[in-house]
A and B are shown apart, each in its own frame.
Chain A
């Protein structure tokens, strides 16, 4: 069974559209994350979320919003897509015990191309 899964794996869309990427983890972890990896391969954290707090990277535009229907899911919704949003988006999860950052398990990534 896949520990962290994301859908879709590939997403090609037009500028201005709104899209969502789904993420699910079956590891029982309490914290989930969204990362953006651009063409230079730099991994940038966008959000971290557990049932207690949402931590947002201040540099992330408010067009990006995480939505968590339950502990095992953290979806990423993007409004008004722009060319610069083209990147690979990774979902990850970990178990944070007493504020210790646990090992992060990554999903396979969603390759977003905005035309």
Chain B
């Protein structure tokens, strides 16, 4: 079966750094997406990784290790507006998106 694992919930402090992990077991791999979803809103695109390594985009970075079936999303200089759910999604060998259940990130002052 295909499976994507993320922590259900994480808590961090404003101004700090947090790392949200995602591990996957899928039939093939053709890329990994991270999306952000604020409560009551639609998911919005954050990052896409298809090769191993770190992709940096402002305060957000995403890392991929295909050999380990592992990715993380790193958020720096946390702001209250970063409180949201973060969804990991993997493209499998049939070019279908497999979604994780999401990690709810709570930012405290």
Instruction: Write the nearest CB–CB distance from A6 to chain B, whole angstroms.
Output: 9
B48 at the A interface (CB under 8 A): yes
Which A residues are CB-close (under 8 A) to B85?
41
A96 & B95 in contact (Cβ 8 Å cutoff): yes
The docked-state distance in angstroms from the alpha carbon of A45 to that of B43 is 13
CB-contact partner of B31 in A40, A96, A101, under 8 A = A101
A43 at the B interface (CB under 8 A): yes
A106 & B95 in contact (Cβ 8 Å cutoff): no
Q: Would you give the 0/1 interface string for A84-101, flagging 1 where the beta carbon is closer than 8 Å to chain B?
A: 000000100000100111
A40-B101, A43-B102 known; A48-B96 Cβ under 8 A: yes
CB interface residues, A 8-43, toward B, < 8 Å? 40-43
A100 & B42 in contact (Cβ 8 Å cutoff): no
Count B interface residues, CB 8 Å: 21
**Residues of A contacting B: mostly:** loop
**Interface residue range, chain A:** 20 to 34
A103 & B33 in contact (Cβ 8 Å cutoff): yes
CB-contact partner of B44 in A42, A96, A106, under 8 A = A106
Which B residues are CB-close (under 8 A) to A42?
99, 101-102
A66 at the B interface (CB under 8 A): no
Cross-chain pairs A/B with CB under 8 angstroms, 9 sampled: A41-B101, A41-B102, A41-B104, A42-B101, A42-B102, A48-B96, A90-B42, A104-B43, A104-B45
Please list the residues of chain A having a beta carbon within 8 angstroms of any beta carbon in chain B: 40-45, 48, 55, 90, 96, 99-101, 103-109
